[in-house]
Amino acid sequence: MISRFFFIILLIVQTNSSYGIAEYKIIATINNIAITNLDLNKEINVIKLLNKNNNLTDNAYLEQIAFKNLIDENIKLIEINNKKIEIESKKIKKFLNIFLNENKINQFEINKEILNLIEKKIKIDTSWRLLVNEMYGWKININIQEINHRVSNSKNNMSNQEKEALKQKLIELEKDKKLKVFDKYHFNKIKNNVLIKIY
């Protein structure tokens, strides 16, 4: 479940060796939020980290993806703050631990600042999902008859408990699919209302 939170979104990570070396420069602003070249470097580092088996070498492509990630994230952050969406810190800590375990990242091998940056990403993504669900969840209609038909056409030797578990899984998958449509719609809507400047 947690891994889907990070399907589009990539986390900020920075290694110890990169601190204080690059010249600080603002490369874009979203309303009053600045994105710097250092932010871009952090995002590139984490793309490489999460795709370490893919041997990414196209720096121009990496910069393009990282830049888009940073802009999208900050647009969401503005909306989250406007709607005053808040998530309990203990829930974010739980998601953080699950994410670290799923990605085989040892929290004792990275410094506290990196953990804080990862946690911030998780908080933004979780808050955004909650926002979309609160605004559009009531509009989602699930065809239960179709779900029941799919369950009945599954393996005949399934117990009633297994069938019920399958039914709930299919309902959640269908709900997530429809929420993604509203997610994209709402993001594009608010994107048109923010001032993005690229330097």
Q: How far is CA 77 from CA 17, 39, 122, 131, in A?
A: 28, 15, 12, 11
For position 103, which CATH number holds?
A: 1.10.4030
Domain assignment present for residue 113? The answer is yes
User: What's the total number of domains in the chain?
Assistant: 1
Strand arrangement, sheet containing 33-36: 33-36, 26-30, 196-198
pLDDT value, residue 44: 85
pLDDT value, residue 52: 66
Give the predicted TM-score (pTM) of the model: 0.79
pLDDT value, residue 70: 94
pLDDT value, residue 111: 61
Domain assignment present for residue 25? The answer is yes
Domain assignment present for residue 155? The answer is no
Domain assignment present for residue 131? The answer is yes
b/e burial code for range 113-150 (CB count within 10 A of at least 16 → b): ebbebbbebbbbbbbbbbbbeeebeeeeeeeeeebeee
- Average pLDDT by stretches of 10, the chain with 199 residues: 42 39 85 93 78 75 92 96 94 91 79 74 93 93 88 78 88 92 96 94
State how beta strands 196-198 and 26-30 pair: antiparallel
pLDDT value, residue 113: 66
Query: Angle CA(37)–CA(184)–CA(91) in degrees, nearest 5?
Result: 75
Domain assignment present for residue 81? The answer is yes
pLDDT value, residue 56: 75
Domain assignment present for residue 184? The answer is no
Domain assignment present for residue 198? The answer is no
Domain assignment present for residue 76? The answer is yes
pLDDT value, residue 18: 43
**Domain limits at 89?**
2-137
